[in-house]
A = this chain, B = another copy of it.
Amino acid sequence: MSYEKIPYKTFLAESETPETWFNLKAFMRDGHEPFLNPATGKPSTEEELETVFCKECVKQELNCKDAEIEIPGGIKSFYRTFRPSPLVRAYFLEKVLDTPAQIYYKFEGSNTSGSHKLNSAVAQAYYAKQQGLTSITTETGAGQWGTALSMAAAFYGLELDVFMVKASARQKPYRKEVIRTFGARVAESPSDTTEAGRKILREYPETGGSLGCAISEAVEKAIKTPKCKYVLGSVLDHVLLHQSVIGVESKTALDKYGVYPDIIIGCAGGGSNLGGLIAPYMAERLQGKNKTEFIAVEPASCPSLTRGKYAYDYCDSAKITPLAKMYTLGCGFTPSPDHAGGLRYHGMSPIISKLYDGGYIRAVAAEQTKVFGAAVKFAKCEGILPAPESSHAIYAAIEEALKCRLTGEKKVILFGLTGTGYFDLAAYKQYNDGTLTDYIPSEKDLEKSLNSIPAQKKTQ
């Protein structure tokens, strides 16, 4: 089939949608370094992890063996309400860029939560319900994850407490209302409802909060509440596993047309979208079956891959969680409140970190004014207002397509369009008004955070 015969949008039929998630780790020799229990310095056991997380999620977290893991019927039926997501050929963007490249994007934003986060929220809420829990807790930064989880909790009938980074809650009051509309409780973090929150408030009464701090509060609340567990929206292996539906659907759709990507681009905060998108293609790369280039795009103001350390670090700021080996800016890192582009987490998925360390992924740090510029160009021709997070991938895709214009190469570019910008209009306003500024952390700031990484890392 000629590339020009490909539809603008491809929706798989329900019969073509995945029956299984794709476990990339099964293709990574030796997986990645295990979680460490900071108290013992030894790998966290299944039992230890189950004090915080749902049982089935812990099983998936530790599964390095099965390439495919079945999606239960109770999850597939909820997936039906918002999946399959469209795979879009960006004909209009190609035309505007006058590029010989073929650009495709997998659009995960056409559900009410507005992002790909719902893929894992559904799975985690389902497993919590199956385990007999009555409530779950979580944190949310930009609010995409909190929204997604509130929808899933409402669907399966679970109570939900969301600790929302205060700066974000103030900047996006309507995100909070979506979450409340689905019946969940929202506390601005740091809050006075947890020890972790009260401690931060005593030390930094004016703080706008951070994801690391909100995680501490949510974990504490889960541990102290009967029949309650904590769920996390990114970083962890089981979250990437759930997000593999993005990659599997993309590959099924592209395979129909005999199209194979030369370049795959994803924005990277905690790494869940990127890990899910690349999963089936990266597995083939690890088996020497392709030469596809994988690009992670992160904000210059929260550059965990491009400027962080590959070391054991805590997943949260209060140092309650296990230690993970990952690229990190230090668990004390707080991005500038000027930063509007999302992707604010201090660390990076251990899977993505390992692949990056192995040279399988290239990382790019993008400044936010350029990212918003790419977003607006994209919106005007492709008719989708993208999330600032997703726009990092758009920015890199445009760069790669323009390179093709110079070289004449007809590369196939696939990128992940993770979500919409409906709740980021305050940031777009800054861009429209010309008041958006770039914030890039100084060496001194970075050094300070990185020095806070605990001693255990050095034993590895």
CB-nearest residue of chain B relative to A422? B422
* B425 pairs with A174, CB closer than 8 A: yes
CA distance A13 to B110 in the complex (A): 18
Range class of the A interface residue count: 35 or more
Q: What string of 1s and 0s marks CB contacts (under 8 Å) between A154-187 and chain B? A: 1100000000000000000110011011110000
Residue A384 contacts which of B11, B92, B112, B385 (CB distance < 8 angstroms)? Answer: B112
**Which residues of chain A from 422 to 444 have any CB-CB distance to chain B below 8 Å in the complex?**
422-423, 425-426, 428-429, 431-432
Asked if A376 is at the interface (CB within 8 A of a chain B CB), the reply is yes
Q: Does A41 contact B (CB under 8 A)?
A: no
Encoded as 1 (CB less than 8 Å from any B CB) or 0, chain A from 64 to 103 comes to 0000000000000110111000000000100000000000
Contact between A380 and B154, CB atoms less than 8 A apart? yes
Interchain CA distance A173-B379 in the complex, whole Å? 19
Question: Contacting A7 at CB < 8 Å: which of B9, B14, B181, B432?
Answer: B14
Query: How far is it, in angstroms, between the C-alpha of A274 and the C-alpha of B39 when the chains are bound?
Result: 64
A381 partner, pick from B155, B380, B384, B428, beta carbons under 8 A: B155
Determine if A78 and B177 form an interchain contact, defined as CB atoms under 8 angstroms apart.
Answer: no
Q: Check: A132 CB closer than 8 A to any chain B CB.
A: no
Task: Report the bound CA distance from A80 to B426 in whole Å.
Answer: 29
- A428 close to B384 (CB less than 8 A): no
Check B9 against A80 for contact (C-beta < 8 Å). yes
A151 sits at the interface (CB 8 A): yes
Q: Given that A8-B81, A80-B8, A112-B384 are known contacts, is A379 also in contact with B182, CB under 8 Å in the complex?
A: yes
Which residues from chain B contact A429 at a C-beta distance below 8 Å? 173-174, 177, 180
Closest 5 CB pairs of A and B: A174-B425, A8-B80, A11-B11, A81-B383, A177-B425
Q: Besides the contacts A81-B382, A81-B384, A174-B174, what 17 more A-B pairs have beta carbons closer than 8 Å?
A: A8-B81, A9-B14, A9-B80, A81-B92, A82-B383, A112-B385, A112-B420, A151-B383, A155-B383, A177-B425, A177-B426, A177-B428, A178-B385, A181-B379, A181-B428, A183-B380, A422-B423
- Report 30 cross-chain contacts, Cβ distance below 8 Å, ordered by A residue: A7-B13, A7-B80, A8-B14, A8-B80, A8-B81, A9-B14, A9-B80, A78-B383, A81-B382, A92-B155, A111-B384, A112-B379, A112-B383, A151-B379, A154-B379, A155-B381, A173-B429, A174-B426, A174-B429, A177-B428, A178-B385, A180-B429, A180-B432, A181-B425, A181-B431, A181-B432, A182-B379, A182-B380, A422-B422, A422-B423
